[in-house]
Amino acid sequence: MGKDIRTVFDTIPEQFDKWRPRYCGELFSDLIAYAALGPGKTVLEVGPGTGQATEPVLKTGCSYDAIELSGVFAEFMRNKYTTYSNFRIVNADFETVSFPENHYDLVYSAAAFQWIPERIGYPKAFATLKSGGAFAMFMMRPDVQPGGGNTDEPLYQKIQEVYTKYFRPETKYTCSLDYEACEKYGFTALERRTYKKTRTYTADGYLSLIGTHSDHITLKEPYRARFFEGIRQVILDAGDTITLYDDITMYLARKP
């Protein structure tokens, strides 16, 4: 039987923290302005991981709470943000824990809310927000193809060949979420904002990055070694450089 895909990251907290990409400054500026964050405001982050979307919010001086399913990640976060007096994290399952109603000015989640069934996630986020409170979900979709749609890109094609030949994860990533469905649960004024950025890696750096993806972690031998070596060789042959073109999306909505 495969691992619980929700806790598969527990084995790599340091690697996860180092290699998972951060979001762009423009996104955080928009989020902070939208929710009017600052001292006296209350915030809940759902599934912070190791804090890829945490510190810009903490720095506003708001009262920050987080709920993290992984005990390993929760402890990592406590150590990472120990100097912030406004930081608090609970190691619990968002799907089952109880929250105070009408309490938070902002509830947000970065690349984590899709792990929660919408029939559970949206109503709980709605209930814990104050009237007029903000709800935000954002995620990053990287692409090897320049412009996000050039399937003739040689490096993209060669990487896909390696995936076809060797990618046999023990547990596949199958999470999905209708981000616009939050309006069915009472949220209003839904907005979708997009941002672009690029990242460049060496072959070894790229292997470290994809080694933090949930389904890649569950690769078993003999496929694991063959897969990673195949990807490494493709990038080395391309000059030991690979550029990712990020499409970042943030959904914003309010509780009436």
Using one digit for the tens of pLDDT, what is the confidence trace for 6-45? 667 888 999 999 999 999 999 999 999 999 999 999 999 9
Whole-number pLDDT of residue 3: 44
Using one digit for the tens of pLDDT, what is the confidence trace for 139-182? 998 887 765 555 567 898 999 999 999 999 987 766 789 999 99
- The mean pLDDT value of the chain amounts to 93
Q: Identify the band that residue 5 occupies on the pLDDT scale cut at 50, 70 and 90.
A: low
pLDDT reading at 48 higher than 90: yes
Other C-beta atoms closer than 10 Å to the C-beta of 224 total 19
- For domain 5-254, is the CATH number 3.30.200.20? no
Answer whether 234's CB lies under 8 Å from 144's CB.
Answer: no
Answer whether 31's CB lies under 8 Å from 62's CB.
Answer: no
Domain ranges of the chain: 5-254
The residue-averaged pLDDT of 217-230 equals 95
CA-to-CA distance for 15 and 30, rounded, in angstroms?
29
pLDDT reading at 250 higher than 90: yes
Other C-beta atoms closer than 10 Å to the C-beta of 3 total 14
Whole-number pLDDT of residue 11: 84
Residues ≥6 apart with Cβ < 8 Å to 151: 145, 157
Q: Which helix (H) or strand (E) covers residue 210, if one does?
A: helix 203-210
The residue-averaged pLDDT of 218-244 equals 95
Backbone phi, psi, residue 181, to 5°: -70, -10
pLDDT reading at 193 higher than 60: yes
pLDDT reading at 1 higher than 50: no
Q: Identify the band that residue 73 occupies on the pLDDT scale cut at 50, 70 and 90.
A: very high
Whole-number pLDDT of residue 147: 52
If phi > 0 it is left, if psi is from -120 to 50 it is alpha, else beta; for residue 195 that is beta
